[in-house]
């Protein structure tokens, strides 16, 4: 055996020793608020706030709370979701304040990856990869200061599984979309916010998928008997949104129904480097969490891969997890996945079923993508073309030179005025007629 192979085998032994369940790290520590929230049975109305605590904020004229509220996943199973709620101080207008629901980008799948868990969460968006990033993860709320200044109530879901117990269903758009919708209801049900009925969704990356899914969830938005019925959705803003269900539909169609080839087509571009592969592995992990009776981790992961990724996903937020994969596996990261995945038809079905519903959104949609974005243009084009055919009003703006991480900030000037016009009820030409 060569020295190189010996070193490789020794590394694998050490990884397995430290990552096997028999000697696994304990679950990540959580603040008392989240420990208590995760023990609450989700038996109340959708959107019911079951726990809250005041948090400090430096945003002028604002007050803020951590909240835990009732939501439900793609299978209509009720969950506890946590999040952050920020509202202006003072008397609201007679009609109540508009509500804006923020859906964040990828932070990970562990219980301690919810953005509201930061020491100072009620701030403008702070990103790990940008120069002002000061944490191991992204946190804060995009344009929070500007939105509060306009007099809006701003609510930001952590998503289920990121502080309220249960496994996070990463990139299951309908689950995250329902978390965003129920966040509206939570915000409206708290009298301290002075919230009205007009509401708007906005989100980035994973959150972009969330809001596109929520925007087409008419029946869920129209439910009665919730903690706050009658939400009037006036717009959706999606920043660098992934469109995973659209990608799966395209892959299965272009491969004439061959699910093995479709999975390979989806996986190949997301396997070129360890950072993107971590997202792909997280997607598979999240899908299996949503559909445990239909999917098994070992359909896609090797036995070692399932064990290692389960340990990492349950203990580390995404950027730290990515570093762990790089350190332990380097260029051999693809050894954690099966060369020929099993049960591929069920995986394709899950990708489509958990994604954006196949009907037009009930409100106009404004989408942004950077020309240097990690999200392929084809993903947003698929959504635009498909929804325009269904009678939607979708405008797609390409931000010249913007990356996946700079696009939210660069889009602010445009979308903030668009949001204001939607709440004012200003007439909007149908952008689909120009696409």
The confidence score (pLDDT) of residue 9 equals 42
Residue 343 is given by DSSP the state S
Radius of gyration of the chain (CA): 21
**Percentage of the chain surpassing pLDDT 70?**
94
Mean pLDDT along residues 233-243: 98
413 compared with 175, residue with greater pLDDT: 175
Question: Among the listed ranges 18-22, 76-80, 264-268, which one has the minimum average pLDDT value?
Answer: 18-22
The confidence score (pLDDT) of residue 14 equals 38
The confidence score (pLDDT) of residue 433 equals 84
**CA–CA dist 378, 376 (Å, integer):** 5
Q: List beta partners, residue 100.
A: 154, 200
The confidence score (pLDDT) of residue 434 equals 74
* HSE of 324, CA atoms in CB hemisphere, 13 A: 17
Binning pLDDT at 50, 70 and 90, where does residue 102 land?
A: very high
| Nearest CA among 210, 134, 135 for reference residue 178 | 210
Q: Where do the domains of the chain lie? A: 3-28+245-352, 32-243+356-433
The confidence score (pLDDT) of residue 396 equals 97
**CA–CA dist 81, 431 (Å, integer):** 35
Mean pLDDT along residues 267-272: 93
**CA–CA dist 179, 163 (Å, integer):** 13
Report yes or no: 329 and 357 within 8 Å, Cβ to Cβ.
Answer: no
The confidence score (pLDDT) of residue 136 equals 87
Whole-model pTM?
A: 0.93
Q: What is the mean pLDDT of the chain?
A: 93
Q: Which CATH architecture does the domain made up of 32-243+356-433 adopt?
A: 3-Layer(aba) Sandwich (3.40)
Mean pLDDT along residues 348-369: 98
| Nearest CA among 159, 122, 166 for reference residue 144 | 122
Mean pLDDT along residues 193-220: 98
Distances (CA, A) of 168 to 246, 265, 296, 332, 394: 21, 25, 16, 26, 29
Whether the pLDDT of residue 130 is over 80: the answer is: yes
Report yes or no: 148 and 59 within 8 Å, Cβ to Cβ.
Answer: yes
């Amino acid at each position: 055996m060569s020295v190189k192979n010996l070193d490789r085998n020794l590394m694998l032994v050490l990884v397995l020793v430290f990552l096997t369940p028999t000697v696994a790290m304990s679950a990540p520590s959580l603040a008392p608020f989240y420990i208590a929230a995760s023990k609450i049975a989700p038996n109340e109305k959708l959107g019911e706030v079951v726990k809250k605590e005041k948090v400090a904020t430096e945003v002028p004229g604002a007050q803020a709370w951590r909240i835990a509220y009732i939501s439900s996943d793609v299978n209509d199973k009720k969950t506890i979701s946590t999040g952050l709620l920020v509202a202006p101080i003072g008397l609201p207008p007679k009609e109540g304040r508009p509500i804006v629901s923020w859906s964040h980008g990828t932070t990970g799948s562990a219980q301690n990856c919810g953005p509201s868990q930061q020491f100072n969460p009620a701030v403008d968006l702070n990103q790990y990869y940008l120069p002002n990033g000061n944490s191991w993860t992204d946190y804060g709320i995009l344009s929070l200061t500007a939105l509060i200044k306009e007099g809006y109530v701003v609510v930001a879901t952590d998503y289920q599984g990121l502080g309220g117990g249960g496994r996070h269903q990463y990139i299951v758009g309908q689950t995250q979309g329902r978390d965003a919708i129920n966040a509206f209801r939570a915000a409206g049900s708290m009298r301290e916010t002075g919230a009205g009925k007009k509401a708007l969704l906005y989100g980035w990356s994973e959150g972009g998928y969330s809001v596109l899914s929520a925007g087409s969830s008419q029946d869920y938005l129209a439910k009665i008997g919730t903690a706050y019925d009658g939400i009037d959705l006036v717009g959706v803003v999606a920043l660098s949104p992934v469109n995973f269900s659209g990608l799966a539909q395209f892959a299965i169609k272009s491969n004439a129904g061959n699910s093995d080839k479709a999975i390979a087509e989806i996986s190949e571009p997301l396997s070129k480097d360890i950072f993107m592969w971590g997202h792909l592995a997280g997607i598979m992990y999240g899908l299996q969490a949503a559909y445990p009776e239909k999917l098994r981790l070992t359909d896609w992961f090797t036995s070692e891969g399932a064990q290692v990724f389960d340990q990492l996903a349950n203990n580390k937020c995404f950027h730290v997890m990515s570093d762990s994969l790089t350190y332990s596996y380097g260029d051999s990261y693809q050894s954690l996945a099966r060369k020929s995945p099993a049960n591929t038809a069920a995986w394709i079905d899950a990708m489509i079923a958990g994604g954006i519903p196949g009907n037009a959104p009930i409100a106009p949609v404004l989408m942004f993508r950077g020309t240097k974005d990690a999200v392929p243009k084809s993903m947003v084009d698929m959504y635009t073309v498909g929804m325009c055919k269904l009678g939607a009003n979708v405008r797609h703006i390409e931000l010249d030179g913007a990356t996946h991480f700079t696009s939210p900030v660069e889009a602010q000037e445009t979308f903030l005025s668009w949001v204001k016009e939607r709440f004012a009820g200003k007439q909007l030409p149908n952008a689909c007629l120009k696409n």
